[in-house]
Amino acid sequence: MTSFLISIYGFRLLRDQFFPLLMLALILPVWSLFQTPLRELSTIAGDIGPSIVGIEVLRDGYRLSTYGGLFDVEPACSGLGFFMVGALF
């Protein structure tokens, strides 16, 4: 898409429209492919992080159990939005 715009309109349009084009690329559904690996990464971080400071955590799939409660890492909370927004900055 970028090469098409450059070939027709030149670099100036690309420079002026960089942010809207970036936002368009970030809302495409192709990013859902990263949801499962990021969910796994978030679960691993939720398991290792508290263990470092001495809190015992039991992991069963995407479910974390502590003395304080039971926590599920849902697909919506996997960090995909955080990483996409972080990519902007």
How far does the chain reach from its first CA to its final CA, in angstroms? Answer: 22
pLDDT tens digits along 1-47:
667 767 777 777 778 888 887 887 777 777 677 788 888 888 898 89
Determine contact, residues 38/83, Cβ cutoff 8 Å.
Answer: yes
- DSSP designation for 33: G
Measured CA to CA, the distance from residue 47 to residue 50 in angstroms comes to: 6
pLDDT tens digits along 52-76:
999 999 999 999 999 989 998 887 7
Measured CA to CA, the distance from residue 15 to residue 28 in angstroms comes to: 21
Measured CA to CA, the distance from residue 33 to residue 22 in angstroms comes to: 18
Q: Which two tokens stand for residue 3?
A: 């090469």
